[in-house]
């Protein structure tokens, strides 16, 4: 039997990988994928916590997180499409009009 703490450690590592990816990558889709990875790391934590605490709340939370992630993906891809139509690229560095 794998101890539940290991699941927490693995999901924390996944979360950190997601954070690093979101901060260092310059392609909009890859940044968004890193953010999705953060959310999925949290999902893993929630499921492990749910079995650790013998409570159903965590599993229920996961369904809502997946729904929200799907809605976010729909909006995000629409925004990236709009960026691509405008500049033929989704490299974040190309979008630098606003500063100061």
Partner 1 sequence: MNLNQIMTLLPLIILASFAMGILLIGAFAKNAKGTSTIGYIALASMVFVFLSLFLFVGKGKMAFGSMMRMDVYSIFFNLVFVVIGVLTILASISYVKITGIHSGEYYALILFSMIGMMLMASSTNLVMLFISLEMMSIPIYIMAGFLRNDDRSIEASMKYFLLGAFASGFFLYGLTLIYISTGATSYQAIANFIAGTQRWNLSKLIWVGIAFITIGFGFKVAAFPFHAWTPDVYEGAPTSVTAYMATGVKAAAFAALVRIFFSVFSPFQHDWTSIMWLIAVLTMTVGNFTALVQKNVKRMLAYSSIAHAGYLLVAFVAGNAMGRSSILFYLLAYAFMNIGAFTILMVMAKKNDYHEDLDSFAGLGFKYPLTALAMSVFMFSMAGIPPTAGFIGKFYIFSAAVKSHDYWLAVIGVLNSAVSVYYYLRVVVYMYFKEPEEEIPTYRFSAPTVFSIVLAVWGVLQLGILPGDILNIARHSIMALM
Instruction: Rule CB under 8 A: say whether 28 interacts with partner 1.
Output: yes
**What is the Rg, in whole angstroms, of the alpha carbon atoms belonging to the chain?**
17
Instruction: Rule CB under 8 A: say whether 14 interacts with partner 1.
Output: no
* CA nearest to 78, candidates 13, 28, 9: 28
Neighbours of 11 (CB within 10 A): 20
The site for partner 1 (CB under 8 A) is made up of 8, 15, 18-19, 22, 28, 31-32, 35, 38-39, 41-42, 45-46, 49, 52-53, 55, 57-58, 60-61, 64-65, 68, 71-72, 75-76, 78-80, 82-83, 86, 92, 95-100
């Amino acid at each position: 039997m794998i101890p539940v703490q290991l699941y927490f450690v693995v999901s924390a590592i996944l979360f950190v990988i997601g954070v690093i990816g979101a901060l260092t990558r310059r392609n909009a889709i890859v940044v968004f994928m890193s953010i999705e990875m953060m959310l999925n790391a949290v999902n893993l934590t929630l499921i492990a916590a749910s079995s650790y605490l013998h409570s159903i709340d965590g599993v229920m939370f996961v369904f809502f997180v997946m729904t929200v992630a799907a809605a976010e993906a729909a909006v995000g891809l629409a925004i990236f499409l709009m960026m691509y139509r405008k500049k033929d690229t989704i490299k974040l560095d190309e979008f630098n009009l606003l500063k100061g």
